[in-house]
A and B are shown apart, each in its own frame.
Chain A
Amino acid sequence: MLLFVGLPSTLTLWTHRSESIQRRAFIPLSILVLIGLGLTSTSSTGGQVGGIAEIGLYVVGIVGILCIGIYLMVFGGVTPVGPVPRGWRTTGGLLMISAVAFGGILTIEPEWSPLVTPDGWNSYAASSIVGLITTSLFGAVIVWLYGDQRWMTLIGLILTTSLGLIGALLLIESSILTKADISEGLTTAIGSIFGLLIAAVLAIGLMVQIESKAVVPRTSPPLSKEEIKRMEQLIQANVRSEQE
């Protein structure tokens, strides 16, 4: 219930305007939903939903570290708005690497690690790799088309894509991930993109249809001769007082 109603509901609240009551309720409700998910994961007896709640908590940790890292990396450099001192860029880079390392440790599950990988984590890891490869490659093509000699970004993105592909192959070779995990991730990625496109096209079409049939608000009648005369008098009076 929390996962399938709570999370979409909080997401819906987040889409409201910042000064609205719904948006103000977003943070406390999100915290309540996360606490609920945490309680579900610890009290579960190994069911699917409990597993997902456990994965959700790890994902919140990884994404949180990643967010802070990206924020420090982006705003610690040469930006028109730079609220973070320059020295923090290295810390941001380290945090980004830590987030990837944390995800990697959970996926590989080495013997020395005290962390217990929740059920279904492989599906998350495989989807992450598919998302990483797809977005990096698309980003590389965009940067290449944009030009402006952004070689460093281009090389970085090609390296990320290659590392993602090599990583996927190595994880499959060492039987940590299965080919079926990658296959499901790919199918979900394609299906989700198609679904979002269909949803966007139909929603925009519906809104345009409804708005185009809306009643046009009544416009005010044109100014009468008396009103124009009064306006002229006011302007003349103002101009004269300024000249004096």
Chain B
Amino acid sequence: MSLRRLSGAGIGTATVVIIALMMIEGEESPAIEDRLRSIIIQALWTAMMAWMIIAGSMLGLLGRGRAPWLQIGGLLFLSLSTLGILAIIGEIPTEDVLGGLTIRWAGLATGAFFAIGYTLSTLTVSMDEEIDPLLLLGREQ
């Protein structure tokens, strides 16, 4: 499957999901500016944490020359810059906000995990039994 088809499928699916869930929200759907602002802020929080986790995961490479130092420094710089941007726009996450965000991330991950697990299990159910060609040869003789 080509990357082009995959990205097309991704964008199409995302559109359908957003429309379906916005229909569920109904009149309580927030204004588009509010939603965009909220999405951007959450994207910045996510990116900040992802950079910190990547930088932490590279600590084991510190003894391997100058490049890992630069990469860890660069990632921490990106993370702290994001924190700076959030401070400028007055959106530094408080304990309550981080708490709510953690719960929602856990929820999203659980839902996605269930769907992936279910897909894998149904795929293995529909797999045909593999017959060893050597055993088949023995039977024919």
The CA-CA distance from A165 to B21 in the complex, in Å, is 8
A210 to B, closest residue via Cβ: B70
A49 touching B99, Cβ below 8 Å: yes
The CA-CA distance from A161 to B103 in the complex, in Å, is 22
B28 interface neighbour in A99, A183, A196, Cβ under 8 Å: A183
Shortest 3 CB-CB contacts between residues of A and residues of B: A131-B111, A195-B46, A127-B107
Main secondary structure of the interface of B (DSSP, over half): helix
B21 to A, closest residue via Cβ: A186
Q: List which A91-130 residues lie within 8 A (CB) of chain B.
A: 92-93, 96, 99-100, 103, 120, 123-130
B121 touching A70, Cβ below 8 Å: yes
Count of residues in B whose CB is under 8 Å from the partner chain = 84
**Contacts A3-B99, A73-B124, A135-B116; A183 near B109 (Cβ below 8 A):** no
B103 touching A120, Cβ below 8 Å: yes
B75 touching A137, Cβ below 8 Å: no
Chain B 41-52: CB-based contact to A (< 8 A → 1; otherwise 0)? 111111101111
Count of residues in A whose CB is under 8 Å from the partner chain = 96
Q: Please tell me if A157 contacts chain B, counting CB pairs below 8 Å.
A: yes
Q: Please tell me if B106 contacts chain A, counting CB pairs below 8 Å.
A: yes
A172 to B, closest residue via Cβ: B24
The CA-CA distance from A199 to B51 in the complex, in Å, is 6
Q: Please tell me if A182 contacts chain B, counting CB pairs below 8 Å.
A: yes
Residues of B within 8 A of A59 (CB): 106, 110
CB distance from B5 to the nearest CB of A (A): 6
Q: List which A187-234 residues lie within 8 A (CB) of chain B.
A: 187-192, 194-196, 198-200, 202-203, 206-207, 210-211, 214
The 20 listed contacts between A and B (C-beta, < 8 Å) are A4-B98, A9-B56, A59-B110, A70-B118, A123-B107, A127-B105, A130-B111, A131-B108, A132-B112, A133-B17, A139-B119, A142-B9, A145-B5, A150-B126, A153-B123, A184-B104, A187-B39, A195-B44, A203-B50, A203-B51
Q: Please tell me if B130 contacts chain A, counting CB pairs below 8 Å.
A: yes
Residues of B within 8 A of A203 (CB): 50-51, 54, 75, 78
A138 interface neighbour in B10, B46, B104, Cβ under 8 Å: B10
Q: Please tell me if B100 contacts chain A, counting CB pairs below 8 Å.
A: yes
Q: Please tell me if A34 contacts chain B, counting CB pairs below 8 Å.
A: no
Q: List which A1-35 residues lie within 8 A (CB) of chain B.
A: 3-4, 7-9, 11-12, 15-17, 20, 22
